Homo-oligomer: A and B are copies of this chain.
């Protein structure tokens, strides 16, 4: 793997009007900014404008902080509803993964990180079962076992412990890799826009529990998976990525579970990559994924 060149990544959403592209491009051009990737999108229904741009870090005479300061003035011109951020690809993204007993998504992410494909700073894996500890630690990653009792008080304590463990790392992404516990509203709020879940169905079909069983009962010819941001409404957060795989009458529920796992892994890995590269802009219940 060669080291990719360092880039500043700028993303922005604001009410659409004439001249936004020119204003941002002009700002960058004035300082010699070399744009290596640029995405623009206008949503005609909401009248909202979105952009994401990657600029070669060595092409502008700033560091990240100064770029932020200077760009803030440009953003201010675009109205007070403008939302924007600027990041630096040289800062590795911090990630924490939450798991339960099933390991396929965790195995997949550890493999991607171990092979260098996904270049992130995986700070910790937290499991409500201990079984995935050894493989996590074999990859040199700390594993925390936080048991989840059935009673609501015990569960609240467990979530408090998880929150403390997670927040200590100030992660850019909290990945629910088949975590199987419903996050309380305050955690959804605290991790808003950073908590990614993988749901094992093609949402909105088969939300809730045992989606493969539901799919089997209904006799669908495809099963799927959905990576979405976690919100207080269960399985209803903005969707980042989805995919499906064909099944037929020869597939038992166990076969659907097995085939579906491959899609879960892919969809979660793609969704996480898009999130960490700053490619996902949320707007209401929908996402723009550049």
Contacts and interface: CB of A to CB of B under 8 A. Distances in A.
Interface of A: 18-19, 21-23, 25-26, 28-30, 32-45, 50, 59, 102-104, 107-108, 110-112, 114-115, 117, 134-135, 138-139, 202-206, 217-222, 224, 238-239, 241-244, 246, 248-250, 252, 258, 261-262, 266, 269, 285-289
A222 B102 CA distance: 26
A258 B50 CA distance: 24
Given A22-B29, A103-B111, A266-B262, A38 B40 contact: yes
A117 B138 contact: no
B33 A18 contact: yes
Contact of A217 (B34, B244, B285): B285
A209 B36 CA distance: 29
Contact of A26 (B22, B202, B266): B22
Nearest to A27: B22
Contacts of A33: 18
A34 B22 contact: no
Contacts of A239: 218-221
A221 B241 contact: yes
Given A110-B111, A204-B220, 18 more contacts: A18-B29, A18-B33, A18-B59, A21-B29, A45-B252, A103-B114, A107-B114, A203-B218, A204-B205, A205-B205, A218-B285, A219-B287, A220-B239, A222-B224, A222-B244, A244-B244, A249-B287, A249-B289
28 contacts: A18-B59, A21-B29, A21-B35, A22-B29, A22-B30, A38-B40, A41-B249, A41-B250, A43-B249, A50-B249, A103-B114, A104-B111, A104-B115, A107-B107, A107-B115, A108-B111, A110-B111, A135-B139, A202-B244, A204-B205, A204-B206, A204-B218, A205-B205, A218-B239, A219-B238, A220-B239, A249-B286, A249-B289
